[in-house]
Amino acid sequence: MIALLLRDLRLALRAGGGFGLGLAFFLILTVLVPFSVGPQSALLASIAPGVLWLGALLACLLSLDRLLALDYEDGTLDVLATAPLPLEAALAVKAIAHWITTGLPLVIAAPFLGVLLNLPPQGFGWLVLSLLLGTPALSMIGTFGAALTVGIKRGGLLLSLLVLPLYVPTLIFGAEAARRGAIGMELETPLLMLSGISLGSIALLPFAAAAALRMTIR
């Protein structure tokens, strides 16, 4: 499993489609929002949690079509399906690699980009915590969507249509947790819901993704 994780990390960093593209999109979105809504500090502060969470979600979505497609084209998925390592574990490792190369850099960059949106200082820590709890669910749900569409040529649009509705609960509770943290409200409920979504995704979706992938390979 460690060898597979290191392989996927090397491939992601060489291709540049996860780390660089996701961060660049996140930065561009954050920079453009003040130009579109105006320089009002109060308005920017109120929308900052939602904008940052939406940017993180869309940045994760950008690299999903590459998550399994390259391995499908060169036959690596066929090898993984017959390897001693369970396919469920292999897909979970791929989701972890996607989170490390895409989700984790977004978590680290979010507080710095929050300054551009006038996010209140007390909200920085809660924003990071909400992203840490929620972005693993984005990667795991994305892996499930990639497994469903891996055999379809130019399936990127279909992947987005399948995954976006599943992302909505994570977006709602993640943005709400960051918003409440920024204004000093109680945020136990959204954080618990966010944790539950991530834990449920990690526990269940590797099996669903493996079942979908086995049907595609056959």
Give pLDDT tens digits for 87-142. Answer: 898 899 999 988 998 899 999 999 999 998 999 999 999 999 999 999 999 999 99
What are the tens digits of pLDDT across the range 71-84? 777 777 778 777 78
Q: Looking at residue 18, what is its pLDDT?
A: 54
Residue 67 has a pLDDT of 81
Residues in Cβ contact with 86 at an 8 Å cutoff, skipping those fewer than 6 apart = 210
Phi, psi at 85, each rounded to 5°: -70, 125
- This prediction's pTM: 0.90
Which pLDDT does position 16 carry in this prediction?
52
What's the pLDDT at 19? 60
Quote the domain boundaries for residue 146. Answer: 2-217
- d(CA 76, CA 60) in angstroms, rounded, equals 23
**Total domains in the fold of the chain:** 1
Sign, Cα dihedral of 181, 164, 211, 9? negative
Query: How far is residue 148's CA from residue 162's CA, in Å, rounded to a whole number?
Result: 9
| Sign of the alpha-carbon torsion through 108, 109, 110, 115 | positive
